[in-house]
Amino acid sequence: MNHLIEAARFARENAHAPYSNFKVGAALEDLNRRIHTGCNVENATYGLTICAERVAVFKAISGGLRPLQFRRIAVVADTEELTPPCGACRQILWEFCGDIEIVLANLKGKSESLQLKTLFPRAFDGRFL
């Protein structure tokens, strides 16, 4: 798991966060143990900002992976309290990754692992359409 956290820490360094200065990195591991990274990219309107978790998922999908081909994702931020994915990211993670392991970590070496279902109970997905 440490390699996944390190990949997310490295991805965090590429974050474009000139407005909030809140840099986040994510590393998504697929079933073949390949790692797909992402960082947050801000826009002046904030509404067009994209989070690190979604960047990682979209990069993996655009690189040829199909939904539900992922094992876990690590999310790293420079915060005292570990930072979970936002609501939009939880929805994307649920739809493209299912109930994967979420590893939260900070730059001080603190980490925690939990399942997405714990963060996102009774998720909405294609079953309801």
116 confidence band (pLDDT: 50, 70, 90): very high
Catalytic member of 6, 29, 42, 53: 53
Looking from the CA of 17 toward its CB, the CA atoms found within 13 Å total 18
Q: How far apart are CA 60 and CA 29, in angstroms?
A: 9
Q: Which domains does the chain have, with CATH numbers?
A: 2-121 (3.40.140.10)
pLDDT for the residue numbered 73: 98
Instruction: Read off the pLDDT of residues 90-113 as tens digits, 9 standing for 90 and up.
Output: 999 999 999 999 999 999 999 999
Whats the size of the chain, residue-wise? 129
Active site residue 95: no
Q: Token pair of 90, please?
A: 């939880």
